[in-house]
């Protein structure tokens, strides 16, 4: 474990360590809240559940179709014939029927292809939901660290304001006793006024960052655990960008989803071409009819009949006005679009893996460089304070070097967060980001 110089620990201990309350939320607490309340993931989960129904719907096209129909009618028939003798016929009767019919597809290639498409869509839905969850992890981590950095900026500005206020008071005292010019006082006052403006801006930024996190978890966050000092950023393993790029080209979730789209589009061409093929069904039906009635001559009658049939039904499409040919051309164009989208996804994955790798390595190097920069800035500030006391440095020199110390502290905190987010983004680029990775980051936080 890396040991920081005393100056670094002194400057960062309060800002990045445990100043939060015992009830402070950590990254995993916020992530669990986001899982329950984020509407984007909720919508993705609902879409996943809906997509699971594609397979039983497509399977229905391969299974028997059975229907039952009933009918019942009351009928009246009446006629008068002008003859000698006069003839009048009045008759009422009832009739009813029941038909049970069934059809079992034997050869419907379009339905078979549709089932294969449904299977692919269900598999794709798994990756789509996983992608939404990975996106939630990144959004939560980014929003969480945005709040921490905004809090750090507020505290940093308050500390800077107090330090400059002390310099301003000292400049005024020195002017009053005649050991300094009014210029020192004016410079300190200008610096103080600038920091007051920065303090207002930092407070507004903190409120905006908290609101952004609220949009994800559905409520304002409580106090958040801070990043603990004393860890050494490590380089990606394996430390080779080519390995990460190769993994991204095959395992990136957006690439996998686009690959499924291309496969489904290819199957769609087959399904549309199947519109030219004959279909064969095994069909069967059972029909029963019954009637009863009476006539005006006090004659009544009733009866029934039954009929059953089983056989094969062959349907051969001959001409459909060019509909099938048009649907095939449409499917071919959509297949080409899916292939181009797959290429876009592969290029984006390559870019994400490459930039993710350099982001992690660059952030790790920045942390080490900024740790030394903070030590140097602190040393320069102390030297300038001593120089001011002996008259070889001005108050402005002290203010400027003091500003460098605060800027170095801000840059170092930003580098820490960039490193942690970079690690998560790199793993997301290769499709391997999971909750364990979030737990690893969470262990670096202190209550």
Q: pLDDT, tens digit, for every residue of 87-98?
A: 777 778 888 999
Give yes or no for residue 260 having a pLDDT over 60.
Answer: yes
pLDDT band at residue 8 using 50, 70 and 90 as cut-offs = very low
3-state helix/strand/coil string of the chain: CCCCCHHHHHHHHHHHCCCCCCCCECHHHHHHHHHHHCHHHHHHHHHHHHHCCHHHHHHHHHCCEEEEEEEEEEEEEEEEECCCCCEEEEEEEEEEEEEEEEEEEEECHHHHHHHHHHHHHHHHHHHHHHHHHHHHHHHHHHHHHHHHHHHHHHHHHHHHHHHHHHHHHHHHHHHHCCCCCHHHHHHHHHHHHHHHHHHHHHHHHHHHHHHHHHHHHCCCCCCECEECCCCCCCCCCCCCHHHHHHHHHHHCHHHHHHHHHHHHHHHHHHHHHHHHCCEEEEEEEEEEEEEEEEECCCCEEEEEEEEEEEEEEEECCCCCCCHHHHHHHHHHHHHHHHHHHHHHHHHHHHHHHHHHHHHHHHHHHHHHHHHHHHHHHHHHHHHHHHHHHCCCCCHHHHHHHHHHHHHHHHHHHHHHHHHHHHHHHHHHHCCCCCHHHHHHHHCCEEC
Supply the pLDDT for residue 38. 93
Provide mean pLDDT across the span 265-283.
96
- Ordered strands of the 87-107 beta sheet: 65-81, 87-107, 279-295, 300-315
**Mind listing the pLDDT tens digit for each residue in 154-178?**
998 888 888 778 777 877 877 777 7
69-83, 292-306, 363-377: which is most confident: 363-377
Mean of per-residue pLDDT scores for the chain:
88
| pLDDT (mean) for 91-113 | 93
Q: What is the CATH number of the domain that holds 44?
A: 1.20.1600.10
What's the pLDDT at 14?
42
Lowest mean pLDDT among 86-95, 262-271, 412-421: 86-95
Whether 76 is covered by a domain: the verdict is: no
Q: Is residue 316 part of a domain?
A: no
Residue-range definition of the domain harbouring residue 135: 6-65+107-277+322-446
Determine, yes or no, domain membership for 111: yes
In a domain, 296, yes or no: no
CA distance 88 to 84: 11
In a domain, 171, yes or no: yes
Structure confidence at residue 208 (pLDDT) = 95
Instruction: Give domain status of residue 311, yes or no.
Output: no
> For residue 447, what pLDDT is reported?
59
What's the pLDDT score for residue 21?
42
> Cα(330)–Cα(334) distance, rounded to whole angstroms?
6
Measured CA to CA, the distance from residue 116 to residue 427 in angstroms comes to 32
Residue 209 lies inside a defined structural domain of this protein: yes
* Domains of the chain: total: 1
Q: Would residue 290 count as lying in a domain?
A: no
pTM here is 0.82
Residue 74, classified by CB atoms within 10 Å of its CB into exposed (0-12), middle (13-18) or buried (19+), is exposed
Q: Is the pLDDT of residue 409 over 80?
A: yes
């Amino acid at each position: 474990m890396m040991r920081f110089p005393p100056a670094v620990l002194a400057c960062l201990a309060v800002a990045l360590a445990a100043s939060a309350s015992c009830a402070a939320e950590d990254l995993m607490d916020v992530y669990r809240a986001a899982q329950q309340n984020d509407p984007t993931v909720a919508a993705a989960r609902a879409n996943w559940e809906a997509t699971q129904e594609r397979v039983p719907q497509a399977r229905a096209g391969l299974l028997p179709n059975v229907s039952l129909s009933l009918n019942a009618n009351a009928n009246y028939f009446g006629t008068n014939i002008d003859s000698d003798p006069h003839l009048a016929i009045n008759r009422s009767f009832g009739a009813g029927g029941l038909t049970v019919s069934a059809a079992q597809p034997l050869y419907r290639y379009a339905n078979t292809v549709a089932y294969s498409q449904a299977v692919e869509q269900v598999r794709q839905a798994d990756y789509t939901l996983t992608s939404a969850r990975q996106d939630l992890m990144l959004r939560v981590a980014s929003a969480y660290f945005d709040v921490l950095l905004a809090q750090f900026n507020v505290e940093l500005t308050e500390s800077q304001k107090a330090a400059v206020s002390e310099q301003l008071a000292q400049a005024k005292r020195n002017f009053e006793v005649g050991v300094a010019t009014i210029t020192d006082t004016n410079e300190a006052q200008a610096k103080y006024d600038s920091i007051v403006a920065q303090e207002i801006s930092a407070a507004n930024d903190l409120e905006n960052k908290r609101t952004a996190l609220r949009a994800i978890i559905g409520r304002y966050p409580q106090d958040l655990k801070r990043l603990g000092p004393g860890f050494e950023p490590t380089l990606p393993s394996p430390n080779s960008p080519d390995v990460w790029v190769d993994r991204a080209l095959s395992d990136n979730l957006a690439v996998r989803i686009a690959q499924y789209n291309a496969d489904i589009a290819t199957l769609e061409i087959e399904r549309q071409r199947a519109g030219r093929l004959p279909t064969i069904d095994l069909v069967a039906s059972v029909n029963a009819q019954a009637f009863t009635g009476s006539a005006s001559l006090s004659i009544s009658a009733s009866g029934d009949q039954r009929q059953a049939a089983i056989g094969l039904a062959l349907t051969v499409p001959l001409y459909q006005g060019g509909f099938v040919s048009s649907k095939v051309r449409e499917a071919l164009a959509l297949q080409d679009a899916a292939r181009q989208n797959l290429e876009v996804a592969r290029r984006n994955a390559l870019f994400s893996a490459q930039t993710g790798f350099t982001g992690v390595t660059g952030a790790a190097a920045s942390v080490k460089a900024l740790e030394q920069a903070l030590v140097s800035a602190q040393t320069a500030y102390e030297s300038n304070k001593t120089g001011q006391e002996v008259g070889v440095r001005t108050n402005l020199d002290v203010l400027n070097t003091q500003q460098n110390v605060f800027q170095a502290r801000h840059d170092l905190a930003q580098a820490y967060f960039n490193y942690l987010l970079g690690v998560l983004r790199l793993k997301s680029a290769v499709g391997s980001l999971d909750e364990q990775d979030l737990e690893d980051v969470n262990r670096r936080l202190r209550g």
